[in-house]
A and B are shown apart, each in its own frame.
With several copies, the nearest count.
Chain A
Amino acid sequence: MSLLEAASEHDALERLHQLGCTDGLPVVIPTADRVARMVLSTGYEPDLVLGVMGPLYGAATIEKVATAAVMAGCLPDHIPVVVAAIRAVCQPEFDLTEMQATTHCTAPLMIVCGPARNACGEIASGFGAMGPGHRANASIGRALRLAMINIGGARPGSSDMALHGHPGKFTYCIAEDEENSPFPGLHTTFGYEPDESAVIITGAEAPHSTFFTGDRDDPASVEALLDVIALVMANPGSNNVHLRNGAITVIMNPDHTEVIKRAGLSRQDVQAELASRATISVGTMRRISPTFYSQTMQNDNEAVSDEAADEDRIHVLKDPDRILVLQAGGSGLYTMVMPSWCAGPHQNAVVHAGIELDQACEIPGMNDLTT
């Protein structure tokens, strides 16, 4: 790795901006010393390759990933989550190269589960967890993005062809609110033990706000909640409706999971209900997509022939397991729904990787990267 030189940290920052190595915001300058200490905190050798990141096909070595983490503003506490995230997105099922290159706005959404939520710097799962003010969330999510830029080579308009993108392409990381959730940890549905930690990653649109106010006196309240979430999942603009078979994330606030809990529904029940309710009519598809729809439906398992009635309904998702249902956020009226890209060879597969909390050696003063 060749080293750049600069007269001051601020000259270095300007240089990194000019080289296109930032996301447009200030970074911590990845001096050799800071990167070396971040590498040390991973517990791995600097040249260990975690995966290959397209479209540049750069090798994501521990050293390069540590560099991205330093630039993003991470503390050594955060690095186990960053390492796991890189492992996850480098799995072939994630189609990272295609996702980086697509014209769709998709960005990797990181969901952190298990004890790492606390051990790795208090990753927020409550009020405003997808907004500013939470250093762990902000810098961990950004470390993945800076790796995608500098190791994977994503640059807007030349290699990253997102028409508009969305602000989650700066940083997009939350923790599950496991303690207050009626559901078991989301990671357990992917085969992890409750006391293990994992990051679950899906390519996602920005969150779509979903308003619902319940009424405990009305036993049909849960039906209304499931219906409005399903309607947002089936929103006629999303790729899920046009391409189907992607993944959709549903992040429910505690008041909404309370409605689910009172109705006695498990996570699997919610997934099944949402998959069954999220439909769109053949007539709407013919109206909004006269050319594309008739071409794609020929390849679709859910055979809808030219003779289908306008009232017939098509399911938006084929696989209920591709609906990620979890609790996060403060208590109130909103659930968040993230539609997705759905394209690429694996059509928006969800990936995950275990977070290793005992990998790093404890080094006194290690969290003090800032001197």
Chain B
Amino acid sequence: MRDSISVARLGIPSVALVTEEFWPQGDFFANSSGMPAVPRVKLPHPVAGTGEDKMAEVASEITPSIVEFLSS
């Protein structure tokens, strides 16, 4: 989240991937960094350790929104 904010500050398009469980923390960082609208995409929680199939499924679900954010 913090990386994404730093990159966005440099004017480089960025999207933070944040799991559901960490969404409030993402909001917190976005607000405290003065960039409340920094683009972020919600992932299910947990992702790590859930296996190849699940990760592929999550990836295909979220890719469109990432592309949308980066091209807008």
Residues of A within 8 A of B (CB): 54-57, 97-98, 101, 153, 157-159, 161, 213-217, 221, 255, 291, 330-332
Residues B25 and A161 in contact, CB atoms below 8 Å apart: yes
Residues A215 and B49 in contact, CB atoms below 8 Å apart: yes
- Chain A residues, CB < 8 A from B48: 213
Residues A215 and B25 in contact, CB atoms below 8 Å apart: no
- Chain A residues, CB < 8 A from B33: 57
- Complex: chain A residue closest to B33, CB-CB: A57
Residues B50 and A158 in contact, CB atoms below 8 Å apart: no
Q: What is the predominant secondary structure among interface residues of chain B facing chain A?
A: helix
Nearest Cβ in chain A — how far from B50, in angstroms?
A: 5
Q: Which of B1-48 contact A (CB under 8 A)?
A: 2, 21-22, 24-25, 28-29, 32-33, 45-46, 48
Write the B43-60 contact mask toward A (1 if CB under 8 angstroms, else 0).
001101111111000000
Residues B49 and A213 in contact, CB atoms below 8 Å apart: yes
A157 to B45, CA, bound (A): 14
Residues A55 and B32 in contact, CB atoms below 8 Å apart: yes
A330 to B51, CA, bound (A): 20
A101 to B30, CA, bound (A): 13
In the complex where A57-B33, A331-B45 touch, is A216 in contact with B54 (Cβ < 8 A)? yes
Residues B25 and A54 in contact, CB atoms below 8 Å apart: no
- Complex: chain A residue closest to B24, CB-CB: A158
Residues of B within 8 A of A (CB): 2, 21-22, 24-25, 28-29, 32-33, 45-46, 48-54
Residues A158 and B28 in contact, CB atoms below 8 Å apart: yes
Residues A55 and B49 in contact, CB atoms below 8 Å apart: no
Query: Which single member of B2, B21, B32, B52 contacts A330 (CB below 8 Å)?
Result: B21
Question: Given A55-B32, A157-B24, A217-B52, 14 other A-B contacts at CB below 8 A?
Answer: A54-B32, A55-B25, A97-B2, A153-B32, A158-B24, A159-B25, A159-B28, A213-B48, A215-B49, A215-B51, A216-B49, A216-B51, A330-B21, A331-B45
- Chain B residues, CB < 8 A from A330: 21
- Chain B residues, CB < 8 A from A55: 25, 28-29, 32
- Chain A residues, CB < 8 A from B32: 54-57, 153
Residues B49 and A161 in contact, CB atoms below 8 Å apart: no
Residues B46 and A331 in contact, CB atoms below 8 Å apart: yes
- Complex: chain A residue closest to B50, CB-CB: A216
A214 to B48, CA, bound (A): 8
Nearest Cβ in chain B — how far from A102, in angstroms?
A: 11
A54 to B33, CA, bound (A): 9
In the complex where A57-B32, A57-B33 touch, is A214 in contact with B49 (Cβ < 8 A)? yes
Q: Could you list some 15 contacts between A and B, CB below 8 A?
A: A54-B32, A55-B28, A55-B29, A97-B2, A101-B25, A101-B29, A159-B29, A213-B48, A213-B49, A214-B49, A217-B52, A255-B49, A291-B49, A331-B45, A332-B46
- Chain B residues, CB < 8 A from A159: 24-25, 28-29
A98 to B2, CA, bound (A): 9
- Chain A residues, CB < 8 A from B52: 217
A77 to B17, CA, bound (A): 41
- Complex: chain A residue closest to B28, CB-CB: A159
- Chain A residues, CB < 8 A from B22: 161
A101 to B25, CA, bound (A): 8
A153 to B31, CA, bound (A): 12
- Complex: chain A residue closest to B23, CB-CB: A158
- Chain A residues, CB < 8 A from B45: 331
- Chain B residues, CB < 8 A from A214: 49
- Complex: chain B residue closest to A153, CB-CB: B32
- Chain A residues, CB < 8 A from B46: 255, 331-332
- Chain A residues, CB < 8 A from B53: 217
A216 to B25, CA, bound (A): 26
Nearest Cβ in chain A — how far from B58, in angstroms?
A: 13
- Chain A residues, CB < 8 A from B54: 216
A217 to B50, CA, bound (A): 7
- Chain B residues, CB < 8 A from A215: 49, 51
Nearest Cβ in chain B — how far from A236, in angstroms?
A: 18
- Complex: chain B residue closest to A333, CB-CB: B48
